[in-house]
Amino acid sequence: MSTLLSNLSRGKLVRVGAGIMIGAWILVASVTMLPDPPHPDDPVAFDAGHLEAAAFIDDSRQATRPDAATESGPQTATLFGLDTEPVAGEVAAKWRAVEADIDHEQQVLARCRAQEACPVAAQNLLDIVAEGADRSGLARVGLINRAVDLAITPTSDEAQWGVADHWSSPFETLQTRRGDCEDYAIVKYVALLQAGLSRDDVKIVILRNLRPNEDHAAVAARVDGQWLILDNRHLALVRDMELVGSIPKFALNEDGAQRFVPSNRIGPGPSAGRSSPARFIKPV
- Within a domain: 282: no
Q: Please state the rounded mean pLDDT for residues 264-283.
A: 47
- Within a domain: 275: no
- Helix residue ranges per DSSP H, the chain: 2-32, 51-62, 90-113, 120-133, 137-151, 157-161, 170-176, 181-194
> HEC states along 201-224?
HEEEEEEEECCCCEEEEEEEEEEC
With a pLDDT cut of 70, the percent of the chain lying above it is 66
- Within a domain: 30: no
* Number of Cβ within a 10 Å radius of residue 87: 17
Assign residue 191 the CATH number of its domain.
3.10.620.30
- 215 neighbors 208 (Cβ within 8 angstroms): yes
Q: What are phi and psi of 92, to 5 degrees?
A: -65, -40
- Within a domain: 14: no
Give 5-50 pLDDT, tens digit per residue: 344 344 444 454 555 555 554 444 444 444 444 444 445 444 433 3
Q: Please state the rounded mean pLDDT for residues 227-234.
A: 96
- 213 neighbors 178 (Cβ within 8 angstroms): no
- Domain of 89? 48-261
**Per-residue confidence at 212, pLDDT binned at 50, 70, 90?**
confident
For residue 21, what pLDDT is reported? 55
Average pLDDT score over the chain: 78
- Within a domain: 11: no
Helix axes 90-113, 120-133, angle to 10 degrees: 90
- 54 neighbors 130 (Cβ within 8 angstroms): no
- Within a domain: 74: yes
Which comes out higher in pLDDT, residue 206 or 2?
206
Most confident of 42-46, 66-70, 178-182: 178-182
**Per-residue confidence at 142, pLDDT binned at 50, 70, 90?**
very high
* Number of Cβ within a 10 Å radius of residue 263: 14
Query: Which stretch of 43-52, 112-121, 169-178 has the lowest confidence by average pLDDT?
Result: 43-52
pLDDT at 105 over 80: yes
For residue 68, what pLDDT is reported? 38
- Within a domain: 12: no
Which comes out higher in pLDDT, residue 229 or 2?
229
- Within a domain: 269: no
Strands 226-230 and 214-223: antiparallel
pLDDT at 193 over 60: yes
Q: Structurally, how many domains does the chain consist of?
A: 1
* This prediction's pTM: 0.72
**Per-residue confidence at 264, pLDDT binned at 50, 70, 90?**
confident
